[in-house]
Amino acid sequence: MMDAIVSTRPLDLVADFPAIPEGWAYLDTAATAQKPAQVIDAIAHAYSETYATVHRGVYQRSAEMTLAFEAARRRVGQFIGANAPEEVIFVRGATEGINLVAQSWGGAFLKPGDRIMLSVLEHHSNIVPWQLIAERAGAEIDVAPLTEDGRIDLDAMAGMLTDRHKLVALAHVSNVLGSVLDARRAAKLAHDAGALLLLDGCQAVPRMPIDVQALGCDFYVFSGHKLYGPTGIGVLWGRADLLDAMPPWQGGGAMIDKVSFSGTTFAPPPARFEAGTPHVVGVLGLHAAVDYVTGIGLDAIAAHEEALVREARSALSAMNSVRLLGPEDSAGIVSFAVEGVHPHDVGTILDESRVAIRAGHHCAQPLMEHLGLDATARASFGVYNGRKDVEALVRGIERVTRIFG
């Protein structure tokens, strides 16, 4: 069966990842990426040798850590094409970034009768925050359908948008189907209707070059842990004029200009949205992760993962009992269902063969309903995967079909 797989020249980077033992196929990168030694070393160095608070101390180590912290902000800004580092806000992850925009921008500017456009394939983190603010503001939510191969149907969305829509929030890459949004067209459609565009870039940033200016979006969010960085750190990028107009979401230290009991004034962005002591070491780990993927090259990563997706889909499509989901050119993700077998059973049997995949609804229950499934199995690739991992996946699925007949 593996004769159908086309050979490729894989990235040979598994040695950079100490948590991946020999013979273990880790195919759950869309949930969270393993960490290269370069990121682990940066975190260990920060905690063991250079650790101090930032933006507060007048002593040398604090000043040096502040310089490193703000250097990371500049590096992230360069990585995604920001106009200025002040457009980069550090948050706990994409979930917090979306909630920040919903509660701050949405709380200030959404009015009764306004509308928000989402899509069927959104992650819960790009649905629930909008439901919360829509209920509070008296706004309504519309949902763009999908094309037959699992892409956001922008033709249909174009016909749905009106001048009552104030915001469009879409996944740049689906975390279930791997389908890639035509983000430039989505931005034009949103702007032509007078709406802003927020992109959830969690699955896009680790596997393709991102330039927020070229994309034309207004907000962009992503999580560090999917980019081979640490957990607990993420990024919200926003256009400077939008951030300037947004009120604080959380109050505390670092985000103020002056505090008195008669009233408080607030710092400009990004400090206005970074209340409290930040995840200093997480930011430095994110910097190391950005340097790591940039050193490999996002184009090379994209080509590597596309080749693995082609190989996996080619082999799995030869199995009559396997239903493949999403487009042929999905970005780094292959979701599938095995006829008559619950995805949790698929995942358990694969785990016995030392193959780690995700099984469940992937925090995308509306999409599962659309697909007519309770859950799917999902294999997702990273820079550490190669042909042997695809082979292990296919052997594991063959075992599943033998066990369940």
Of 65, 394, 79, 47, which is closest to residue 224 (Cα–Cα)?
Answer: 79
Beta strand 263-266 pairing with 256-260: antiparallel
Alpha-carbon distances, residue 386 vs 121, 297, 333 (angstroms): 28, 17, 14
363 has catalytic annotation = yes
Phi, psi at 280, each rounded to 5°: -55, -50
As given in the structure block, the two tokens for residue 55 are: 């933006």
As given in the structure block, the two tokens for residue 16 are: 């950079």
Q: Go through 276-292 and write b for each residue having 16 or more CB atoms within 10 A of its CB, e for each that does not.
A: eebbbbbbbbbbbbbeb
Residue of 363, 366, 374, 395 with catalytic role: 363
Check residue 173 and report its DSSP letter.
B
- Polymer length of the chain: 405
- The type of residue at 365 is Q
Of 235, 237, 332, 225, which is closest to residue 289 (Cα–Cα)?
Answer: 225
Catalytic residue list:
363
